[in-house]
Amino acid sequence: MAKLILIRHGQSMWNIKNVFTGWVDVPLSANGISEAIEAGKQLADINFDVVYTSMQIRALETAMIALAQNNSDKTPILLHTEAKLKEWTTIYDDEMKKNMIPVHHNWHLNERYYGELQGKNKTKTAEEFGEEQVHLWRRSYDVPPPNGESLEDTAKRTIPFFKESVIPELKTDKNVLISAHGNSLRSIVMYIENLSKEEIVQLEIPTGKPILYEYEEDKLIRI
């Protein structure tokens, strides 16, 4: 049966600095690279058919580093949609086309947009606005940070994408890897596991730890 693996990117350089990142394109830290390698070793025997990542480098790095540990001889290849890039990255050999794992990056999987908190230290922000207010911005379901997205807003883009792009792949028995972010993945887990608003705000998804599901009879079951 088809498998779905969700993985939050490895530790980023701003995770270390305790900074709100959101859509800022920050790369993995050295520890984040190690986390991606370890995750890849755990997933080494899964023959992936398709990969989805956010547009952000830390999610793409995590996917590619993890797949470099895979026992399959397939090559993960990032597919471009821009006209000239799409044309100039065409593969003209049929054998190599069959040998690739298509990697799609899509903004619908991006991290929650933190608006005017992006780039701010979380501790200093709590000192400025109060711990209770910052906790509300970070952990409530429907309260957004200033000019940013709430988790509810994030779910409005991630869940339709998941239904339209990922579920059809699982229905054709393809093994799918999604490399994304704490909040974009929380919203997807909320949908998969039918969690309430109260339950989802309590869910923590650690960096670099794969979450595995099997798709059977139109249902995803965590394994």
What amino acid positions are annotated as catalytic residues? 9, 111
Is 113 part of any known ligand binding site? yes
Class of domain 2-222: alpha beta
Is 183 part of any known ligand binding site? yes
Residue (of 3, 4, 7) closest to 205 by Cα position:
7
Do 216 and 3 contact (CB within 8 A), yes or no? no
Per-residue DSSP letter, 108: G
Is 15 part of any known ligand binding site? yes
Is 111 part of any known ligand binding site? yes
Is 112 part of any known ligand binding site? yes
Determine the pLDDT at residue 61: 98
DSSP codes, 111-148? PPP-GGGTT-BHHHHHHHH-HHHHHHHHH-SS-PPTTS
Across residues 63-79, what is the average pLDDT?
A: 97
From CA 56, how far away is CA 73, in angstroms rounded? 26
Confidence of residue 113 (pLDDT cuts 50, 70, 90): very high
What confidence tens digit (pLDDT) does each residue in 20-51 have? 999 999 999 999 999 999 999 999 999 999 99
